[in-house]
Chain A
Amino acid sequence: MLTERELQISPTVQESVLHNTKVLTTLHNLTASLFGVGAGILGLESYPGFLFYFLFSLLTSVLVYAFRVRPGIIKEAQSSGSSGMQRYFRGSMELWTGGLIEGLSGFVLTWTLFYGLVRA
Chain B
Amino acid sequence: MTWISKSVTGLGLLFLAHACYSAYEHSALHSTSTASLSSTAAHTAITSTSSSLPIDISIETLVAVFTVCLGLVLGTPELRPIQWRVWAGQIEREGEAGFTNIDGQVDKDYVGNPFRVLESRPGFVDIRKQRKEFAEWVREGGGIDEAKKS
Interface, chain A (partner B; CB < 8 A)? 10-13, 15-17, 19-20, 23, 26-27, 30-31, 34-35, 37-38, 41-43, 45, 56, 59-60, 63-64, 67-69, 72, 76, 83, 86-90, 114, 117-120
CB distance from B18 to the nearest CB of A (A): 10
Partner pick for A68 among B57, B78, B83, B84, CB 8 A cutoff: B78
- Cβ–Cβ contact B86 & A76, under 8 A: yes
- Cβ–Cβ contact A119 & B80, under 8 A: no
Known: A15-B109, A15-B111, A30-B72. A10 touches B23 (CB 8 A): no
CB distance from B101 to the nearest CB of A (A): 11
Residue B7, interface by CB 8 Å:
no
Cα A80 to Cα B34 with chains together (Å) = 67
Name the residue of chain B whose CB is nearest to the CB of A114: B20
- Cβ–Cβ contact B61 & A42, under 8 A: yes
Residue B69, interface by CB 8 Å:
yes
Known: A16-B81, A118-B23, A119-B49. A27 touches B86 (CB 8 A): no
Chain A residues within an 8 Å CB radius of B79: 19-20, 23, 68-69, 72, 88
Cα A110 to Cα B94 with chains together (Å) = 42
Cα A43 to Cα B24 with chains together (Å) = 11
Chain A residues within an 8 Å CB radius of B85: 10
Cα A66 to Cα B76 with chains together (Å) = 13
Cα A34 to Cα B19 with chains together (Å) = 13
- Cβ–Cβ contact B69 & A72, under 8 A: no
Name the residue of chain A whose CB is nearest to the CB of B87: A13
